[in-house]
Structure 1
Amino acid sequence: MYSDDEIITGAAAVIVIANAKKMPKKRRFWMRPSLRSRRIYSASDMMKDLILDDVNAINLEYRCNGGFKNFFRMSSTEFEQLLNLIGSKIAAKDTNFREAIPAKVRLGVTLRFLATGDSYHSLMYLFKISKQTISKIIPKVCEALIDVLQDYIKMPQNEQEWNLVAKDFNTKWNFPNCVGAMDGKHISIQAPLNSGTEFFNYKGFFSIVLFAVVDANYNFIYCDVGCQGRISDGGVLKNTSFNSLLTDLKMKLPADCVLPGRTRKTPFVFVGDDAFPLNQSIMKPYPGVQAKYSKTRIFNYRLSRARRISENVFGILSSVFRVFRKPMMLQPNTATKVTLASVYLHNFLRKSGSKNIYNPPGTFDSECSETGNVIAAAWRAELQGSTLTNFTQIGRKSSAEAQEVREEFKEYFSSAEGAVPWQYEKS
Structure 2
Amino acid sequence: MNEQIVRLTKIVKIINVMFVMMKIYLLASQRLKRRWWIRPVNLTRNNLSFHHTCFAQLKLKDEEHFFKATRMNIEKFKVLLTLLRGRLQRFSKREPINEETRLGITLIYLSQGCSPQYLAWSYKMGLSTVRKIIYETCDAIWQELHEIYLAQPNQTEWKNIADRFYVKTGMPHCLGAVDGKHIKVICPKSSGSLYYNFKKTFSIVLMAICDQNYSFVFVDVGALGSQSDGGIFARSAFGRMILRNQLEIPPDDNLPGTDKIFPYFFVGDNAFPLRRNLMRPYPGRNLSTGKLYFNKKLSSARVHIENTFGILANRWRILHTTINAAPVNVDKIVLATVVLHNYLMLDRNGGYFDPSLVDREENGIFTPGTWRQSSTDMRSIRISHSNRSTMEAFTLREELTDYLLDNNGA
TM-score by length of 2: 0.90
* 1:76-155 paired onto structure 2 within 5 Å: 76-95=74-93, 98-150=94-146, 151-155=148-152
C-alpha distance in structure 2 between counterparts of 1:248 and 1:211, whole Å = 18
C-alpha distance in structure 2 between counterparts of 1:138 and 1:124, whole Å = 11
C-alpha distance in structure 1 between counterparts of 2:286 and 2:344, whole Å = 40
* Counterparts in 2 of 1:86 and 1:349: CA distance versus 1, 3 Å: same
Which of these residues, 299, 306, 309, is aligned with residue 304 of structure 1?
299
Q: Which range moved further: 330-339 or 139-148?
A: 139-148
3-state DSSP of counterpart to 1:176: coil
3-state DSSP of counterpart to 1:211: strand
Which of these residues, 358, 361, 372, is aligned with residue 367 of structure 1?
361
User: Is residue 157 of structure 1 aligned with residue 154 of structure 2?
Assistant: yes
Q: CA deviation at 1:294?
A: 1.4
Report the equivalent of 2:205. 209
Report the equivalent of 1:424. none
User: Is residue 23 of structure 1 aligned with residue 25 of structure 2?
Assistant: no
3-state DSSP of counterpart to 2:198: coil
Q: CA deviation at 1:122?
A: 0.7
3-state DSSP of counterpart to 1:406: helix
Q: CA deviation at 1:16?
A: 6.4
CA contact (8 A) 2:177 2:209 kept: yes
C-alpha distance in structure 1 between counterparts of 2:294 and 2:157, whole Å = 26
Q: Which range moved further: 130-139 or 32-41?
A: 32-41
C-alpha distance in structure 1 between counterparts of 2:392 and 2:408, whole Å = 22
C-alpha distance in structure 1 between counterparts of 2:47 and 2:367, whole Å = 49
Report the equivalent of 1:181. 177
* Counterparts in 2 of 1:353 and 1:16: CA distance versus 1, 3 Å: same
Report the equivalent of 1:414. 405
Q: CA deviation at 1:358?
A: 0.2
CA contact (8 A) 2:46 2:52 kept: no
Q: CA deviation at 1:249?
A: 2.9
Report the equivalent of 1:377. 369
Q: CA deviation at 1:83?
A: 0.7
CA offset digits 1:2-40 (Å, max 9, x no partner) = xxxxx99xx798676534312144322222233233232
C-alpha distance in structure 2 between counterparts of 1:177 and 1:375, whole Å = 26
Give the counterpart letter for 2:57 in structure 1.
D
CA contact (8 A) 1:44 1:104 kept: no
CA contact (8 A) 2:47 2:53 kept: no
C-alpha distance in structure 1 between counterparts of 2:223 and 2:388, whole Å = 25
Which of these residues, 234, 242, 249, is aligned with residue 245 of structure 2?
249
C-alpha distance in structure 2 between counterparts of 1:92 and 1:262, whole Å = 61
User: Is residue 50 of structure 1 aligned with residue 58 of structure 2?
Assistant: yes
C-alpha distance in structure 2 between counterparts of 1:21 and 1:163, whole Å = 65
C-alpha distance in structure 2 between counterparts of 1:72 and 1:224, whole Å = 25
Q: CA deviation at 1:259?
A: 2.3
Report the equivalent of 1:358. 352
- Unpaired stretches in structure 2, ≥5 consecutive residues: 1-11
User: Is residue 401 of structure 1 aligned with residue 387 of structure 2?
Assistant: no
Structure 1 runs (4+) deviating above 6 angstroms are 11-16
C-alpha distance in structure 2 between counterparts of 1:375 and 1:153, whole Å = 30
C-alpha distance in structure 1 between counterparts of 2:84 and 2:60, whole Å = 24
C-alpha distance in structure 2 between counterparts of 1:310 and 1:391, whole Å = 13
Which of these residues, 282, 286, 289, is aligned with residue 278 of structure 2?
282
Q: CA deviation at 1:262?
A: 4.8
Q: CA deviation at 1:354?
A: 3.6
C-alpha distance in structure 1 between counterparts of 2:302 and 2:286, whole Å = 18
User: Is residue 195 of structure 1 aligned with residue 202 of structure 2?
Assistant: no
Q: CA deviation at 1:353?
A: 6.2
Report the equivalent of 1:267. 263
C-alpha distance in structure 2 between counterparts of 1:260 and 1:103, whole Å = 51
C-alpha distance in structure 2 between counterparts of 1:202 and 1:70, whole Å = 34
* 1:286-365 paired onto structure 2 within 5 Å: 286-291=282-287, 294-352=289-347, 354-355=349-350, 357-365=351-359
Which of these residues, 151, 163, 168, is aligned with residue 167 of structure 1?
163
C-alpha distance in structure 1 between counterparts of 2:179 and 2:21, whole Å = 58
- Unpaired stretches in structure 1, ≥5 consecutive residues: 1-6, 55-62, 421-427
C-alpha distance in structure 1 between counterparts of 2:400 and 2:21, whole Å = 78
CA contact (8 A) 1:237 1:243 kept: yes
* Counterparts in 2 of 1:67 and 1:248: CA distance versus 1, 3 Å: same
Number of positions where the alignment pairs a residue of Structure 1 with one of Structure 2: 394
CA contact (8 A) 1:109 1:138 kept: yes
Give the counterpart letter for 1:76 in structure 2.
I
Q: Which range moved further: 148-157 or 242-251?
A: 242-251
CA offset digits 1:358-414 (Å, max 9, x no partner) = 01230111111x21x3211111011x3x12111101233322211111112211222
C-alpha distance in structure 2 between counterparts of 1:75 and 1:253, whole Å = 36
Give the counterpart letter for 1:379 in structure 2.
W
CA offset digits 1:196-232 (Å, max 9, x no partner) = 2222223322211111111111111101111122221
Give the counterpart letter for 1:78 in structure 2.
K
CA offset digits 1:38-82 (Å, max 9, x no partner) = 23224144222102333xxxxxxxx5xx11001111111111111
Task: Please give the root-mean-square deviation of Cα atoms over the aligned residues, in Å.
Answer: 2.3
